[in-house]
Chains A and B, each alone.
Chain A
């Protein structure tokens, strides 16, 4: 079948949303959709047209067991234990980190003004990988251990403002240091942010301005002033 024909593509998108595309044709279409942004847009347009049909239904409350089953099948209860362990481990390594930070701040402050915000991005064993610091005008990222990323991908750093959408802080260096100017609009968000995240993105960064790939790391951010 010639999937380049725009009319055929639109017809398939419509039948996919309607539900009449079946079996192997449906599976093939879903695979195509993953690689084809235009096709995803066509599907989204059809969803927007047809979904009011679904919305005219009166809401029906599911029984309480549904939410309990969702939580347990996602392992939330064990995850929260794991995250407790993460923070406990963080406590063990934090004295080392504190020394590292103190040394870093004292040497850095010889050259520049004091940094206002600091974060250490660590792996799941609480081993520090990047040191992030920023003041009102500059972001500085230091790679503490060389990292690798699969070909054709980049690691992107995000600021997570409280109650807002993630804001890109640019790509992470895989080794060495990187310093860049902090846009004024982003600098203003720093005061309301307490965390950073790192996502895996296509080379050069997210095409949408929001994280598109899996989140690989998260780190709390502290004001150092």
Chain B
């Protein structure tokens, strides 16, 4: 992802060792990635204890599924981030957690997360490409995509939050994703 190719190679190697049940490699992998993945988990869940529970579940999952990691496709940290996001989104959708946040927390969660994050995107390698592509998306479409990514909102929750019909939300997201895809294709042709 934004790791240097060397860092990617180190993580890929550690994952391969984890597939062979090498506990020392797993400890090293945790040391190198836990803080980054904790940030992802906390961003979605907004509560430290939940975020840590999800981080724990995710690493257990990574240990058991290390052999599924395919070195030739997504970078190691991308693959691990996906596992953490998946777990965090599942956690959010468990019924008992949906009601656990009070009104104020809900407001905070639904504050436009695009605000600070876009500025930070350009700091990371490859983030610049995504930032450029995101800028090409219409603002409301972009907001829907970022809310879905970070808050794990369903189409109907997005519709409620953005006060639009579900069909409109679906179309916005579809359009936004199409722009991203096209934009990346052009970027890759140029490079």
A20-B173, A44-B70, A79-B23 known; A56 vs B56 contact (CB < 8 Å) = no
CA distance A125 to B139 in the complex (A): 63
Interface residue A197 (Cβ < 8 Å from any Cβ of B): yes
- The answer to whether B23 and A210 have CB atoms under 8 Å apart is no
- Residues facing A in B21-39 (CB within 8 A) are 21, 23, 27, 30, 34-36, 38-39
- The contact of A55 among B89, B124, B146, B150, by CB within 8 Å, is B124
In this complex, the interface size class of chain A, counting residues with CB under 8 Å from chain B, is 35 or more
Q: Which of A66-74, A103-111, A146-154, A174-182 makes up part of the contact surface? A: A66-74
- The contact of A166 among B20, B34, B129, B131, by CB within 8 Å, is B20
Interface residue A4 (Cβ < 8 Å from any Cβ of B): no
**Nearest Cβ on chain A to B106's Cβ, whole angstroms:** 18
**Nearest Cβ on chain A to B10's Cβ, whole angstroms:** 10
- The answer to whether B1 and A60 have CB atoms under 8 Å apart is no
A residues less than 8 Å from B1 (CB atoms) = 48, 51-52, 54-55
Q: What sequence of 0s and 1s flags, for each residue 98-117 of chain A, a beta carbon within 8 Å of any chain B beta carbon?
A: 00000000000000000000
B interface residues (Cβ-Cβ under 8 A, vs A): 1-2, 13, 16, 19-21, 23, 27, 30, 34-36, 38-40, 42-43, 51-52, 55-56, 59-60, 63, 67-68, 70-75, 77-79, 81-82, 85, 89, 93, 117, 120-121, 123-124, 126-127, 129-131, 133, 145-146, 148-150, 152, 154-155, 158, 173-174, 177, 180-181, 184
Extra pairs beyond A51-B74, A66-B55 (12, CB < 8 Å)? A14-B181, A22-B93, A44-B70, A45-B73, A53-B117, A54-B85, A55-B36, A57-B39, A57-B43, A59-B36, A61-B35, A215-B67
A interface residues (Cβ-Cβ under 8 A, vs B): 10-11, 14-15, 17-20, 22, 40-41, 44-45, 47-63, 65-67, 69-70, 73-74, 76, 79-80, 160, 163-166, 197, 199, 208, 210-215, 218
